[in-house]
Amino acid sequence: MKGFHHIRLELAREPGHPHGDSGDGWDIVAALDEEGRLDLEACRAEPKRCFVRRFLRDATRATGHLRHTVGGRWLLDLEGRDDLDAAGFRLGDERFVLGEYVSIVAGDGEIHTYGVERLEPLESGPPAVEAEE
């Protein structure tokens, strides 16, 4: 499993979304280790490859980068959209494998749970994403 992967996270069941929401989520490109956890050293070696895209109703809301910050937190840093920036809740401890769940702390402080719905190895660079207006 080691190497860079495209990870698709989709909103899991929560109040207001009893069946989850496949149109609400994140696309993340990040390096994973053999166990499916974020590979800090590989991400530090190639930070521009650690890409994030926030989508809602299948439209791109913002794009940016996954960054490891002081204190060991992972930040989903969206360019020009500080209101949409999010942080992973213990994201460094989570395993990104199909069917697992990860928690993301939204910019407003609310925690949302997302299911890992897609996991594809990448040979080079993030997937092409066109911003929608």
Cα separation values, 90 from 45, 58, 73, 80, 105, Å: 21, 26, 7, 25, 10
Alpha-carbon distance of 6 to 23, in angstroms, equals: 17
Going by pLDDT thresholds of 50, 70 and 90, the confidence category of residue 107 is confident
Where do the domains of the chain lie? 3-121
Cα separation values, 11 from 37, 110, 127, Å: 20, 13, 21
Q: pTM for the whole thing?
A: 0.88
Asked whether residue 4 carries a pLDDT value surpassing 80, the answer given is yes
β-bridge pairing 51-56 and 59-68: antiparallel
Average pLDDT over residues 6-21: 95
For residue 132, the model assigns a pLDDT of 46
List pLDDT tens digits, range 71-83.
889 999 998 887 7
Going by pLDDT thresholds of 50, 70 and 90, the confidence category of residue 131 is very low
